[in-house]
Chain A
Amino acid sequence: MKKVFVNGCGVISAQKTFDNDTFLEEITTYNDRVMPVVNPVYKDFISGGAARRMAKGVKMAVVASNLAMQEAQLESVDAIITGTGMGCLLDSEKFLSKLIDNNEQFLTPTSFIQSTHNTVGGQIALGIQCTGYNFTYVHSSVSFESALLDAQLQLSLGEEENILIGGVDENAPYTINIHKLIGFIKAENTETFSLLQSNTSGAIFGEGANFFTLSTKNQESSYAEVIGVETLNTVSKENLDNAIVSFLKDNNSSLSDLDVIVLGNNGDVDFDGYYNLLTEGTFAETQQVYYKHLSGEFNTVSSFGFWLGAKILKTQSIPKEVKLNQKQTSSIKTVLLYNQYRGENHSFTLLKKC
C-alpha cells in the first residue's frame, strides 16, 4: 500500500484563503443568514473565451484546482474527482425559471449544459486536457469524502500517482429562499463568532470551492498524509464513540494518538448534539477546532475542514479564531475530522503530519 499525501491546496471560501502563503490572518466577519465567498480575480486564471459560459461555481472550482496544481507543481493530473452536493445551482435555477416563465419556449442550451452536476469536473478536464478518470460524487455532506475515498483507493493501490479532488457548491437565490422557508437556514442574522451560541434551528449557508492534489510522492509542498476516510449514512448518537474507535482501529490508530479534532458544528441546535457529545465527552481534553462560522454551511464544506486540518499539520499552528477550547498542543501529529449534516451522512477523516 502506498502512502497518500496532500501536496497542493486551492481554497476559495468566505475568508480570504486563496493565497496559500497566509493562514487565516485576516478574518472577514458576517452578520447574516448566508455568506458569499471572497472572490479571487477570476480573469487572472480564466480567459474571457473560456469564462463566458461559466457560472460562479465553475469559475471558483477552476481557479481552486489551478491553485492546487500550481502549488504541487503539476501541469496535469491522472484523474479528477469532484464532489458537489447541489451541483450547478445558478444555471439550474436559470434554466428552470425560464422554462416555467416562458412555458417551455425560447429556451437556450447553455444554462442546461452548465446545470449538470458533472459540469465542473468536465470543465476542469477540458481546461487541462486531462483524459483520465473523471468522477463526480453528489451525495449531500459526504460528496467530498466520497471523492477523497475514491482517490485514496486508487493512489494507495498504485493505480495512479496524482489525483485532483475537490468540493464545490455555489449559493443561488431561489435555493436559498426555499431553504429559508423550511428552516434549514436560520430565521435570524447571526454574527460570525456567536454562531455556536445562537441556540436556534438551522444553519448559516455558504459556498466555496476547495480543491487538492493528492499524490503518492512526499515533497516539499506536502501538507499532510491522508491515513484514512470513512463515510456512514447513519450513526446513532449512542454509537458515535464506537464508530470513531472502530474507524481509528481500522487505520491502526487509537484515541490517544489524536492531537486535534476538527468538528463540523454549524450552530443548529437540533443537530449539534452529535458534536457536543464528543466535545464534552471523549474529546474533552483534546484540542478542538471548528470552522463553519468562517465558511458557512454547504454540502461540501467539509473540504474546508480538510484544508484546515492539513494546514494545521503543515504549519504546526492553530489560528485562535478556530479554537473551540484551549489545550496545550506543542507538537501536532494527528488530526481527526468529523462532520455530519442534519444528523445524516457522517464522515471521519484521519490526517497525519508528514
Chain B
Amino acid sequence: MEKGVAITGMGIISAIGNNVEENYNSLISCNKGISRISKIDTIHKDAIMVGEINFTNQELEEQLGLSPDNNYSRTALLGVVAAKQAIEDAGIIDISEHKTGLISATSVGGMDMTEKFYYDYLETSEHRKYIKGHHAGDSTQKIAEELGIQESLVTTISTACSSAANAIMYGARLIKSGKLDRVVVGGMDCLSKFTINGFKTLMILSDTHNTPFDENRKGLNLGEAAAFLVLESDVLVAKENKKVLAYVKGYGNANDAFHQTASSENGDGATLAMEKALKVANLQAKDIDYINAHGTATGNNDLSEGRAIIRVFKDNIPNFSSTKPYTGHTLAAAGGVEAVYSVLALQNNVIFPNLNFKTPMKEFSITPQTELKQTELNTVLSNSLGFGGNCSTLIFSK
C-alpha cells in the first residue's frame, strides 16, 4: 500500500447539509446544525439538543421516487440518498460494468419504525410491512437494490460509534487484497427514541450545545446522518482515468477491553488503534497534519482520547478538532461523516474549527484548533471510538 486505496466519490446528508457541497459550506462558515428536536415526540425534548436533518420521511421518499407502499426506515432513506450521491460523484453510470461491493454500517437499523408501531403491529396489519425492515442489514440491502448492485459482496457492520469507520477499513482491505475492484463504504443512522433514551440513561446527553475538549463539557448531542465513499483499485482508476479525491492510507482497529461502555482512563484502545493505523500507512506520528478527533464532549471520551493523542504524538501534537459541534454525534454514521470531512480538509487545505470550546481541560495542556485555519495538509487522521471498547482510526492522504 504505497499510495493507499483511492477514494473516487463521496456522498453525505447531515444536519449541516444535504450534500457534500452544503456540508463544506457549513463547515467553513461555522454553521451548526444543532437544535431542539422537532421530528420525534419525546418527553426529553427540552432537556436535549440534536443534529436533525430537515427533510421529513415523506420528503425523502419523494426525492427517491419510492412508491407509497415502501417499507423504508428513516435510516434506509438517509443511506440511499448519500450512497446515490457517492456513486454519481464517482462518475459511475453503469454500476454492473465492474463488480462492486457494498459495506455499510448502522446501529439503529429500522428501530425508528419498530418503536413507532411496537404495539400497533400486534393489533392491525397496516404497518407490518416494516417488521422485516427492522434488522440492521435491511437498509444495506435497500441501498444495494437502489444502486443496482447484484450478485456481489454486500454486508453490514455494527460496532456502535465506530461502525462506519470499520466499514471503510474493511472496504479498503478488500480492495488492497484484490477481493474487490470497487466498493461503496460508509454508514447511516437516524435519530430514534431508543437511542435518545438509551444515552439519556447513561446521563451523557448535554442539554445545550456540545463542547468537545472543554473543561466544562456536559455531554454529547445525538445527530442523524448518512455518508458513503466509493473506493476503487489502482487498476480500475488507471483504466478509467478516474479522478482521485484522496486515499485511504492507513487503518487500525483495537479493543479497549476495559469496560462495557466507558473508555479506559488512559485511552489504551485508542492508542493501539492510532499506532496500528500509522504502521499500516507506513507513517510516523510527526507525518500527521491534522486529527479529526472523535471528541464527543462526554467527560470520559475526551479525557481518554486526549490522553491517547498525547501518548501517540508526545511533544508534537498536530492541530486537532472535533466536528461534533456541527453535526452532533451521528453514531454508526460518524466515521463516514468524518471521513468525508477529512477528505474535504485535504482537498481544500483547511482545518475545521472545534466550535464551542472555551476552557482548557485541567488534566492536560493540549487544546483543539478553534478557528478555521488554512494550511497545507497532506495527511489527516480520524478517530472513531465506541461502546464495547471498539476503537478505530483511519488515515487519509492526498
- Which residues of A approach B to under 8 Å, CB–CB? 53, 80, 85-87, 95-97, 99-100, 103-105, 107-109, 112-119, 121-123, 125-126, 129-140, 142-143, 146, 149-150, 153, 157, 174, 177-179, 181-182, 184, 230-235, 239, 243, 299, 344-345
Q: Check if B43 sits within 8 Å of A96, measured CB to CB.
A: no
Question: How near does chain A come to B384, taking the closest CB pair, in angstroms?
Answer: 13
Give the residues in chain B near A132, CB-CB below 8 Å. 254-255
Q: Check if A100 sits within 8 Å of B135, measured CB to CB.
A: no
Give the residues in chain B near A105, CB-CB below 8 Å. 43
Q: Check if B388 sits within 8 Å of A119, measured CB to CB.
A: yes
The residue in chain B whose Cβ has the minimal distance to the Cβ of A183 is B128
- With known contacts A112-B198, A126-B389, A140–B137 Cβ distance under 8 A: yes
- Which residues of B approach A to under 8 Å, CB–CB? 42-44, 102, 106-107, 109, 111, 114-115, 118-119, 121-122, 125, 128, 131-132, 135-138, 140-141, 144, 149-160, 166, 170, 173-174, 177, 179, 193-194, 197-198, 200-202, 253-261, 268-269, 272, 386-390
The residue in chain A whose Cβ has the minimal distance to the Cβ of B259 is A126
- With known contacts A80-B255, A105-B43, A135-B253, A182–B151 Cβ distance under 8 A: no
Q: Check if B197 sits within 8 Å of A138, measured CB to CB.
A: no
Known: A153-B173, A153-B177. 16 other contacts (CB 8 A): A96-B114, A99-B115, A99-B193, A107-B201, A112-B202, A118-B390, A126-B258, A134-B253, A134-B388, A138-B136, A153-B174, A232-B153, A234-B151, A235-B151, A299-B135, A344-B141
Give the residues in chain A near B268, CB-CB below 8 Å. 131
Give the residues in chain B near A137, CB-CB below 8 Å. 155-158
Q: How far is the CA of A95 from the CA of B197 in the complex (A)?
A: 9
Q: How far is the CA of A246 from the CA of B341 in the complex (A)?
A: 40
Question: How near does chain A come to B251, taking the closest CB pair, in angstroms?
Answer: 10
Question: How near does chain A come to B296, taking the closest CB pair, in angstroms?
Answer: 16
The residue in chain A whose Cβ has the minimal distance to the Cβ of B170 is A150
Q: How far is the CA of A86 from the CA of B122 in the complex (A)?
A: 20
Q: How far is the CA of A139 from the CA of B163 in the complex (A)?
A: 13
Question: How near does chain A come to B199, taking the closest CB pair, in angstroms?
Answer: 8
The residue in chain B whose Cβ has the minimal distance to the Cβ of A117 is B158
The residue in chain A whose Cβ has the minimal distance to the Cβ of B128 is A182
Give the residues in chain B near A131, CB-CB below 8 Å. 254-257, 268-269, 272
Q: Check if A233 sits within 8 Å of B387, measured CB to CB.
A: no
Question: How near does chain A come to B13, taking the closest CB pair, in angstroms?
Answer: 22
- With known contacts A118-B158, A137-B156, A139-B137, A179–B151 Cβ distance under 8 A: no
Cβ-defined partner of A86 (8 Å) among B135, B156, B389 = B135
Cβ-defined partner of A122 (8 Å) among B156, B254, B389 = B389
Give the residues in chain B near A345, CB-CB below 8 Å. 137, 141, 154
Give the residues in chain A near B388, CB-CB below 8 Å. 116, 118-119, 121-123, 125, 134
Q: Check if B151 sits within 8 Å of A232, measured CB to CB.
A: yes
Q: How far is the CA of A139 from the CA of B195 in the complex (A)?
A: 20
Give the residues in chain A near B157, CB-CB below 8 Å. 135-138
Give the residues in chain A near B253, CB-CB below 8 Å. 133-135
Give the residues in chain B near A114, CB-CB below 8 Å. 260
Q: How far is the CA of A142 from the CA of B255 in the complex (A)?
A: 24
Give the residues in chain A near B102, CB-CB below 8 Å. 233
- With known contacts A126-B389, A142-B155, A232-B151, A109–B201 Cβ distance under 8 A: yes
What are 16 A-B contacts defined by CB distance under 8 Å?
A95-B194, A96-B118, A103-B43, A104-B44, A109-B202, A113-B202, A113-B387, A125-B388, A126-B259, A126-B389, A133-B254, A136-B158, A136-B159, A230-B153, A234-B144, A234-B150
Q: How far is the CA of A182 from the CA of B122 in the complex (A)?
A: 10
Q: Check if A123 sits within 8 Å of B260, measured CB to CB.
A: yes
Question: How near does chain B come to A15, taking the closest CB pair, in angstroms?
Answer: 25
Q: How far is the CA of A149 from the CA of B155 in the complex (A)?
A: 11
Q: Check if B260 sits within 8 Å of A119, measured CB to CB.
A: yes
Give the residues in chain B near A344, CB-CB below 8 Å. 141
Cβ-defined partner of A118 (8 Å) among B138, B160, B170 = B160
Give the residues in chain A near B154, CB-CB below 8 Å. 139, 142, 231, 233, 345
